Structure 1
Amino acid sequence: MTTTLPLESRKQAAFEHARAGRFGEAAELLLSVLKEVPQDIGALLLLGDVQHVGGRTQDASRAYSGALQAIQLAGGQVAPGIRQGVQRAQARLAEYAQGYEAFIEGELPKAGRSKRFDQSVDILLGKSGIYLQQPTKYYFPGLPQIQFYDTAEFIWVAGLEAKTADIKRELMGVLEDHAAFRPYLERHDSQPNVKSHKLVGNDDWSAFYLWKDGERVEENCERCPVTAAAFENIPLDRLPGQAPSVLFSLLKPGAHIPPHHGLINTRLICHLPVLVPGPAWLRVGSETHYWQEGKVCIFDDSIEHEAKNDGNETRVVLLFDIWRPELSEQERTEIAKFLGAISTFSGEKVVTGN
């Protein structure tokens, strides 16, 4: 039997069968090779070609995907002799994915689908990754993995949005004072800056604080009385000496905040866009949101996120943090005491920093 031939002889025989249109015989030989050498990239690519021409696209997809996976396991380098085969495999996998997506669309039209279901389909099709909470300092278990929250679930949102014009008027007064804003990521030369990047100490991303590290900045609140008063009925996450922060966050034209994770997952970050003269966006996980003046957005910053101002003028949002609504009063008290204790022990704030 040909399946008892040496490996290289079987591979050559499979190639000859495929060239002669004997796809079943070719597939049988290649499968026998892969039983002994599962990561033989050449055999996987040829098996994919054979199955594709034979109309067995599911099997071809598995073979092509196996070849690409084997390449990654081998370090990602593609030998010149198989480069065209790899490109062909990638093109056909993209073609299969489009066909699969079209099938799903026919069974469940996108127009009638829920947002979360759409996300699940994108993950299945490889169009999106799985983004989970990964806070860099403190993780509280059991909280839902929600990228952007529905603002209709927060009773205070409408009242804050109604104050946008007055808040913007106060902001414009502050913007006349160029020294009022300081870099959001402050440089601390007394500490190592191992993860430092170009926005540290850079006023391309800068802040004007009304509350900082849980304390009112009285001078700034006096300059923006309407804005300061707007937070009386908002559930800010009060952690003595650490939170909340309430600030005008300024992003200059072209400035990009690279992908990163927040420090803790027990809070949500809220933006009231106050000055958005051009396209500017915030990506959280798999969702990209374009800021609109006067429209609050609420998101979990412990999930990977990034932002960019693609406009030609400065973008400013009123940024603040609130307790996650899923936390009970007891849990909020426990978290506040615990993070306070950690801060006392280490001498460092848990919920602020670069």
Structure 2
Amino acid sequence: MKNEQQQSPAEFREKARLGLRQGDQALAERSYERLLETDPDDLEALQQLASISLARAEASRAIELLTRAHQASPEEPFTLHQLALARMTDGDMQGAVNDLRRGLELKPDMFLARLRLGALLDELGQTHEALVATFNALNTAQAKGRWLNDETTAPELRDAVKRATQFVLAGRRSLFNDILEPLRQRYGASELVRVEQCLAIYLGEQKATLPDSRQQPKFLYFPGVPSQPYYPRERFPWQAELEAHTAAIREELLSVLLQPQDFEPFLQTDSPQDTADLLRSSSAQQAAWDAYFFYRHGERYDAHAARCPQTAALLDALPLARVREHSPETLYSVLRPGTHILPHRGVTNTRLVTHLPLIVPSDCALRVGGEVHEWKEGRCVTFDDTYTHEAWNNSAETRVVLILDTWNPDLSEAERAAVADLVGAIGDFNRASEVPVPKG
């Protein structure tokens, strides 16, 4: 048998790992120390010896080892997480925060590190920053199938995760409650009863009771308004004026169609597969759904408006649903020959979608909640896109409609103002938390 002087670094590593597996801490520690004699920057040895030191409450020794590990491997995020734990044990909370932030810059999906960051920030009195970090941690973990319940949470973390969940629930409730307070003062609390219910549903404090099973908003359900796939045109007096200018709108459309480079895919997806999941082609031509935006997610396309001044002016005169960084969304929607937009749902019933058909070949239609509507050029159709809906162009020609979103007419002035402020605040908070902001 070889004596220790004759053993290779690989043999020391294997003996150290054997010690860890068997619970022989002395063997593991001795073997890792010998490994460091041959390679002072060995990351595994430095990290494991630091863990052994922390288990003995030797925080200073752990910090020294982990500082060496970080200097040797500065792009290794878990070292910084471990270093933060050592600093916490040593009482250096701000140093721990700094280490966690540096580690999360390297690997943003370390949800346990972010959970600890949130707890530290709360301890340091940085309540909003703590709320943002904790919300991100919970969302990241749950997106990976973790921390959904006791079964998906490690036993030693269950209490911490439950505390974090309650912290986020209370924190978001307080944040959004404060957003609504000026509107309560302005309009009176009685005018915002349905908004309060809407917020409670969004926060998961109460269940949504949808009167129509075909309807399912992806983001925000506003209760107490009638549910119907299509809305009667009598609810929208402004449609007559818009329809009267169909010829002028179409003329501007035909001009921009001559420059296809100004159009962009309506679907801004992360991968071709995501697009394929929503578009199909019934012909040899590739499926394509293109857009010439006047507004997208509330951002005005000034150059497009300048090229189509009559269309832009007509749109700006309408009761568009205006929510900072979310809406309106107005565009020429171009469905290429053979393209089928597969069934999908929208984000909220607080606004409705209107189509003004401009170019409609045969064999084109819209289906909302299972009910088919065939477009007629120059005649608006308005629908609630939180119902499952789809559209197709089975012809050999291009179909174009002008799309715009307006407030649901069953919301009062106070409710519209409250929804706009509330959705804007949700968007701000989600962006700060690096959680996807619902749009559409």
- Contact conserved, 1:131 with 1:286, CA < 8 A, in 2? no
Structure holding more helix per residue: 2
2:366 paired with 1:282? yes
251, 254, 268: which is aligned to 2:335? 251
Q: Give the distance between the partners of 1:165 and 1:151, measured in 2 at CA.
A: 20
Q: Which residue of 2 aligns with 1:234?
A: 318
- Contact conserved, 1:285 with 1:303, CA < 8 A, in 2? yes
Give per-residue Cα distances to partners, 1:9-59, cap 9 Å, x unaligned: xxxxxxxxxxxxxxxxxxxxxxxxxxxxxxxxxxxxxxxxxxxxxxxxxxx
Give the % identical residues.
Answer: 44
- SS of the counterpart of 1:341? helix
- Contact conserved, 2:287 with 2:337, CA < 8 A, in 1? no
305, 315, 333: which is aligned to 1:221? 305
- SS of the counterpart of 1:179? helix
**Cα 1:204/1:193, change in 2 over 3 Å:** closer
- Contact conserved, 2:263 with 2:290, CA < 8 A, in 1? yes
Q: Give the TM-score normalised by the residue count of structure 1.
A: 0.59
Unaligned runs of 5+ in 2: 1-211, 281-285
Give per-residue Cα distances to partners, 1:45-98, cap 9 Å, x unaligned: xxxxxxxxxxxxxxxxxxxxxxxxxxxxxxxxxxxxxxxxxxxxxxxxxxxxxx
2:265 paired with 1:177? no
- SS of the counterpart of 2:240? helix
412, 419, 422: which is aligned to 1:328? 412
Q: Which residue of 1 aligns with 2:245?
A: 163
Matched length: 220
Q: Give the distance between the partners of 1:217 and 1:208, measured in 2 at CA.
A: 9
Q: Give the TM-score normalised by the residue count of structure 2.
A: 0.48
- Contact conserved, 2:279 with 2:342, CA < 8 A, in 1? no
2:426 paired with 1:342? yes
Q: Give the distance between the partners of 1:282 and 1:188, measured in 2 at CA.
A: 26
Q: How many Å apart are 1:198 and its aligned residue?
A: 5.5
Give per-residue Cα distances to partners, 1:228-260, cap 9 Å, x unaligned: 011233110000111001100010111001111
Report the residue type matching 1:183 in the other structure.
P
Which has the larger Rg? Answer: 2
Q: Which residue of 1 aligns with 2:190?
A: none
**Cα 1:286/1:187, change in 2 over 3 Å:** closer
* Alignment map for 1:1-354 (pairs within 5 Å): 131-188=213-270, 197=277, 199=279, 204-347=288-431, 348-352=436-440
Q: Give the distance between the partners of 1:323 and 1:212, measured in 2 at CA.
A: 16
- Contact conserved, 2:278 with 2:341, CA < 8 A, in 1? no
Unaligned runs of 5+ in 1: 1-129
Q: How many Å apart are 1:349 and its aligned residue?
A: 3.5
Structure of higher RCO (CA pairs closer than 8 Å, 6+ residues apart): 1
| RMSD of Structure 2 on Structure 1 (CA) | 2.0
**Cα 1:144/1:291, change in 2 over 3 Å:** same
Report the residue type matching 1:346 in the other structure.
N
Report the residue type matching 1:166 in the other structure.
A
